[in-house]
Amino acid sequence: MYYRRLRDLSEDSDLKQADVAAVLGITRQQYQLYESEKEKCRCRYS
C-alpha cells in the first residue's frame, strides 16, 4: 500500500523520518504514524 511505499522510498534515498516529514511539511511524529499505518495520510496529489 502507499504506507509501505513511503517507507521504501525514504529508505532507498537514505532519508530519515525527520527529513521526509520536513519535505512534506509535517512533524516527524505525524510521518511516523503514516508509516506505521496508525493514521491515514491526508496527502493531496497535484
Q: Looking at the domain assignment, is residue 43 inside a domain?
A: no
Nearest of 17, 19, 44 to residue 32 by alpha carbon = 17
In a domain, 16, yes or no: yes
pLDDT digits (tens, 9 = 90+) for 1-42: 567 787 888 888 899 999 988 988 899 999 899 888 777 776
Q: Which three cell numbers stand for residue 7?
A: 517507507
Do the domain assignments include residue 21? yes
Residue 14 lies in a domain: yes
Domain count, the chain: 1
40 within some domain: no
pLDDT, residue 42, reads 67
Q: Count other Cβ atoms within 10 Å, centred on residue 43.
A: 10
On whether residue 23 sits in a domain, the answer given is: yes
Quote the domain boundaries for residue 20. Answer: 2-35
